[in-house]
Structure 1
Amino acid sequence: MKKTLQSLTLAAIVLFANEQAKAQGCVAVRQMGGINAMSASSSYNLSKGEFQVGANYRYFHSWRHFVGTEEQPQRQTLGNAVNIYQHAVDINVSYGLSSRLQLNATVPFLETERSQTLTLTADAATKKLTRYSVSAGGLGDVRFGANYWLIKPENAHKGNIMIGAGIKLATGSYTATDDALQTDGTKKNVVMDQAIQPGDGGVGFSIEFQGFRQLHRNIYGFANAYYLFNPRESNGSFKSAPKAGLDGYNIYASPDQYFARAGLTTAVGKHQNLAFSLAGRFEGIPAYDVFGGQVAYRRPGYVVAVEPGVTYRKGQHTFSLFVPYNFIKNRIQSAADIADQNLQNSKITDPTKYVHVQGDAAFADYSISLGYSYRIAKKAKVPTWKVN
C-alpha cells in the first residue's frame, strides 16, 4: 500500500504541477492558474486547513511566422520577422476547505519584449530595415478558483476526477505603452501590441477538469483541460486606424482561450520521489468567443505540442521541469480576416478573382517551465496534561 500511495502521489504531482497554458508569441494565450496549482504532498489532495504555496517560471522565444499551418520562411530571409521574448512568474496559493474542496489563487507577473523592424524614410531607396525593441510588463490578470474531487481521496487510491471553476480579473494592464521607433527616426509613445500586454482587459470565468488513473503498477494516465470564457467583446484599446467599412475590427479583443493535456507518468527510485511524464498538449485562442460580440481584433490560432517532464519531491518540497515542444502551429482565420475578405470580395464580380485574407502570427518552437511548491501541513495536536 505504501508503494501504491507513493506512486499515486507522484502521479498527482505531475498531473497538477505547472498546468498553465503559456503564451505562444503573437497568438497571445495567457497564463492560466485555474488548473490546480497543487504539486507537493504526501497525498494528492490538501487536507482541511492545509495550505500550499509555490511559484512557476516560464520562458519562450517566438520567431517563426505562420499563415495557417504554412511557415513563412521569407520573414527570416528578409530579416523582418517579429521576435517575442517572454519571462513570466506565477505565485500560487492553495487552501483546503476539506479533503475534497480546495481554493486556489494565482498572481502572475510578466515581462515581454517585442523585437521588430521598419524602414526609415532616409532608407526608403535602399529598403534597409532597422530593428528596434519595445516591451511591456508588470502584474498580469489575477485568478481565483475552486476545485472539487468527485470521489473522496481517502477512498480513491487508484484514480480520481476533479472539476472546478474560476474567475479571471482584469488586473493586468492592456494599454501599456512604450517608445516605438517611427519612420522619420523619432520615437513615439504608443500602446503596445496585444501579444505583449500583461492583461487582456476582460473579466472572465473558466471551467476545468482533471483526472488520473492507475494503469499498471506505478504507471498512471492523466488528463486535464479548461476553457476560459471572456464575455467582453473588446477592451477599447486601438490596434490601428480602422479600414473603411471595418469599424471595430481595429480594437483589441478580450478573447476566450482553451487548453487540454493528456499523457502518462511513472515514478522511479527507491522512494519513488522522482517522476517522469510524457504528454500531448493542445492550446490556443478561438476565432470567435462563446459569449459576447465578435467585432474586435485578435490573432486566433493553436499549437499542438509534445511535453516531456520531470518532477522531484523531497518532503514537503516539490520541483518540476516541463519543456513542451510545438510540432503543429496554426494561425487560423480571425473574424477580422473574414470581415475584410467579405468586404473585398463584395466588390469583385468575377468569382475566380476572389481573395483570401488571413493574417500571420509568430510562434515559439518550445517553452521552458520551472516549478516549485511547498506544502504547509497541519500541525498534529499535542495532548496537554492537567496537574492536580
Structure 2
Amino acid sequence: MKNFYYSLYSFLLLLTLSFQASAQGCVAVRQMGGINPMLGSSSYNLQKNQFQVGASYRYFHSWRHFVGKEEQPQRQITGGGHGPDGKDRGNAVNIYSHALDFNVSYGLTSRIQLNASIPYVHNERSQVLKSTIIDTTRYSVYAKGLGDIRLSANYWVIDPAKAHHGNLMIGLGVKLPTGKHNVMDDALQANGSKLSVVMDQAIQPGDGGLGVSLEFQGFRQLASNIYAFANAYYLLNPRESNGTFKSAPEKGLEGYNVYASPDQYFARAGFMAALGKAQKLTVSLAGRMEGIPAYDLLGGQRAYRRPGYVVAIEPGVTFRTGQHTFSLFVPYNFIKNRIQSAADIASQDLQNSKITDETKKVHVQGDAAFADYSISLSYSFRFGGKKVPHLPVLK
C-alpha cells in the first residue's frame, strides 16, 4: 500500500460522514449525526487544536404506507381495487423532507474531539381533505426552522499514534430542545376554509426533549486497502411528552393524545475500499437500521408516537482533494416496519375489555408512511493544528 494514511482517512471519512439518520416519513426519526470529528489529510483523528467545518444535506420522500411490515396499497391511487372493500382510497400521506446540518469539530487533544451540529429543516406534508373513499382534494402544510442542536465529545480508546490497523471511538452527547415541536400551519377544511392547527409530529423541527446520546464507531483493516467498520447511536429522551396535543382526549386513553419525546436509534456496519493510485476515491457498501422504539429506556410511556424502523442497504462514494472532502450516500430501505405502539396497545386493551367473546377480540396497530430511499450529501474542510509526521508505509 503506497499511502496507508490516505486510505485510512478515506475510510473514516466514509464512516463518519454517513453516521446520520434522518426522518423516514411518519416514523419521525430526527436527523442525528452529521458530525465528522476525525477527518484529516493524513490521519483519521483530529490533531490537537485542529478544526473541521462542514455541512450535510439530506432529502427523502415518504409515501408508501405500512401496518407492521404489510404495505397498504389502497392508500395509493392505482385503480386496482386494493382496499378491503375493493376500493382504492387515494389518501396516502406524502412527506418531503429537506435537512441541512452545519457541523463544527475541534481537537481538544489527539484523542478527544468536541463537536457541535446545528440543523435546519424544511418539511412538507401533502394530504387529502378526506380519509375515506377516494378524494383527490390534496393540499400541503409545512413546518420549517431550526432543529434540535447536538453537542458531543468523542474519545479514541487506543492512542491513534499507536493504532494504525484499527481503533474504537466512544462518544457522549446532549441534544438540546432548540427546535419547535408545536409549529402550526393552515389546514384545509371541508367547507373550503382554512384553520391553523398544530402540525403532525413527523414534520416538526424538534421533539421537545432534552436528550442524552451514546455512540461508538470502530474500524479494522482487513487487507491492503479494505476495511470493515461499524457504528451505532442511541438517543435517550427521558421526557414522556412535549405537551403538544395531537387531538382531544379519549375517555380511558388520556395522555395518548399528546405527542411523545421518543428515544431513537441507529446502527450501521459494512466494508469499504480505497481506489486508485492516489486513493482519493473511496467506495463502500453497508447495512443500516434506524428507528424509534415503542417504549423509552427511561421516563414515562403515556404519550403518542409512531414507532417503527427501516433496514437499508447503503452504497456510498467519497472523494477527497487536499483538505476538501465530498461524499454521497443513498441508503435504500428494503424493510419497513411500523410496530405496535403503547397507544395502540392501550386502545386495544380498552376495546377488548368490553368484548366477552374471545373470537371477536380486536388487534389495534396504526400505520405509517415510509420512504424507499434517502439521499445524503456532505462536505467538510479541515484546518489548523500541527501537521502529522509521515509514518512508514505498512506492508
Q: Could you state the TM-score of these two structures normalised by the residue count of structure 1?
A: 0.94
SS at match of 2:217: strand
> Per the alignment, do residues 14 and 128 of structure 1 end up closer, same or farther by CA in structure 2, a change over 3 Å counting?
closer
Distance (Å, rounded) in 2 between the aligned partners of 1:290 and 1:203: 14
- Residue 138 of structure 1 aligns with which residue? 145
Q: What residue identity is the alignment partner of 1:323?
A: V
- State the alpha-carbon separation in 2 of the partners of residues 39 and 63 from structure 1: 36
Asked whether the equivalents of residues 34 and 104 of structure 1 are also in contact (C-alpha less than 8 Å), the reply is no
1:190 aligns with 197
AA partner of residue 93 (structure 1): V
The answer as to 2:158 corresponding to 1:151 is yes
For residues 58-95 of structure 1, the C-alpha deviation after alignment (integer angstroms, 9 at most, x for no partner) is 00000000000000000003211000001110000000
Query: CA, structure 1 residues 260+35, in 2 after alignment: closer, same or farther (shift >3 Å)?
Result: farther
Q: Is 2:94 the partner of 1:89?
A: no
Runs of 5+ consecutive residues of structure 1 not aligned to the other structure: 381-388
* Aligned residues of 2:35 and 2:104 also touching (Cα < 8 A): no
Alpha-carbon distance between aligned partners in 1 of 2:224 and 2:381, rounded to the nearest angstrom: 27
Equivalent in the alignment of 1:333: 340
Q: Does 1:99 align with 2:136?
A: no
Alpha-carbon contact 1:34-1:144 (below 8 Å) kept = no
Q: Which amino acid aligns with 1:82?
A: V
Instruction: Specify the alignment match of 2:86 in structure 1.
Output: none
After TM superposition, give the deviation of residue 183 of structure 1 in Å.
1.4
TM superposition shift of 1:35: 5.6
State the SS of the aligned residue for 2:161: helix
Instruction: Give SS of 1:14's match.
Output: helix
Q: Deviations over 1:276-318 (max 9, x none)?
A: 0000001000000000000000000000000000000101000
Give the superposed CA RMSD.
1.5
Look up the match of 1:23.
Answer: 23
Matched, 1:307 2:307: no
Task: Describe the SS at the equivalent of 1:154.
Answer: coil
- Helix, strand or coil at the partner of 2:266: strand
Q: For residues 149 and 2 of structure 1, do their structure 2 counterparts lie closer, same or farther at Cα, with a shift above 3 Å needed?
A: farther
* Kept in 1: contact 2:90–2:135 (CA 8 A): no
1:63 lines up with 2:63 in the alignment: yes
What is the CA deviation profile of residues 21-45 of structure 1, one whole-angstrom value per residue up to 9, with x for unaligned ones? Answer: 1110000000113764544432110
Which residue of structure 2 lines up, in the alignment, with residue 80 of structure 1?
A: 91
Aligned to 2:393: none
Residue equivalent to 1:288 = 295
Measure, in 1, the Cα distance between the counterparts of 2:4 and 2:105. 25
CA contact (8 A) 2:18 2:34 kept: no
Give the aligned residue type for 2:320: R
Partners in 2 of 1:40 and 1:84 — Cα distance?
36
Classify 1:272/1:341 alpha carbon distance in 2 versus 1 (closer, same or farther; 3 Å). same
Checking the alignment, whether the CA contact within 8 Å between 1:273 and 1:312 is kept in structure 2 is yes
Q: Deviations over 1:331-383 (max 9, x none)?
A: 00000000000000000001111000000000000000000000013267xxx
Which whole-Å CA distance do the structure 2 matches of 1:299 and 1:86 have between them?
17
- Native 8 Å contact 1:257 1:284 kept in 2: yes
Q: Offset of 1:11 from its aligned partner?
A: 1.2
How many residue pairs match? The answer is 376
CA displacement at 1:114 relative to structure 2: 0.1
Partner of 2:212: 205
Give the distance between the partners of 2:354 and 2:35, measured in 1 at CA. Answer: 47
SS in 2 for 1:312: strand
Equivalent residue, structure 2, for 1:384: none
Quote the offset at 1:129 in angstroms.
Answer: 3.8
SS in 2 for 1:178: strand
What residue is the counterpart of 1:42 in the other structure? 42
Q: Which amino acid aligns with 1:360?
A: D
Partners in 2 of 1:119 and 1:359 — Cα distance?
Answer: 18
- The answer (yes or no) to whether the contact 2:48–2:386 under 8 Å persists in 1 is no
State the TM-score, normalized to the length of structure 2.
0.93
> Match of 1:174?
181
- Per the alignment, residue 3 of structure 1 pairs with 3
Q: Secondary structure at the match of 2:219?
A: strand
1:117 maps onto 2:128 in alignment: yes
The answer to whether the 8 Å contact 1:60/1:85 transfers is: yes
Unpaired segments of 5 or more residues in structure 2?
78-88, 388-395
1:242: Cα distance to partner? 1.5
More moved, 75-84 vs 101-110: 75-84
Q: Any conservation in 2 of the 1:41–1:315 contact (CA below 8 Å)? A: yes
Residue matched to 2:224: 217
- Asked whether the equivalents of residues 35 and 208 of structure 1 are also in contact (C-alpha less than 8 Å), the reply is no
